[in-house]
Amino acid sequence: MGGSVEMDPTMIHVCLQTEGAPTPGGHEVGERWVCSCGDNFVYREGFNRAGYPSLEWWPAPAQPVVPQPRSAKGRRLLFGPRKG
């Protein structure tokens, strides 16, 4: 097989139980972790299944990419530079 690592289709991938997963405690609130499969997690306060507040790793949307302004060089103006 060509160098790619494939997971056994009968196994379930549980991100927070993988080898490189962070430990349950000792993290700053707001700290992020990205699993090798691409899932994002954030360490924050939330409510567990029993309804009590707890600090845990929770699924999070991917961090948005902040767009960078384009450089002015190489950009053609439709009507030319402003005059006057």
Which residues share a beta bridge with 47? 53
Instruction: Dig out the tokens for 54 from the structure.
Output: 């707890």
Please tell me the predicted confidence (pLDDT) of residue 52: 93
What's the rounded Cα separation, in Å, for the pair 18 and 83?
62
Please tell me the predicted confidence (pLDDT) of residue 9: 59
Report the chain (84 residues): mean pLDDT per 10 consecutive residues: 50 77 86 88 90 90 80 66 76
Please tell me the predicted confidence (pLDDT) of residue 53: 92
What's the rounded Cα separation, in Å, for the pair 41 and 16?
9
* Amino acid code (one letter) for 47: F
* C-alpha dihedral (42, 48, 52, 57), degrees to nearest 10: -20
Please tell me the predicted confidence (pLDDT) of residue 1: 41
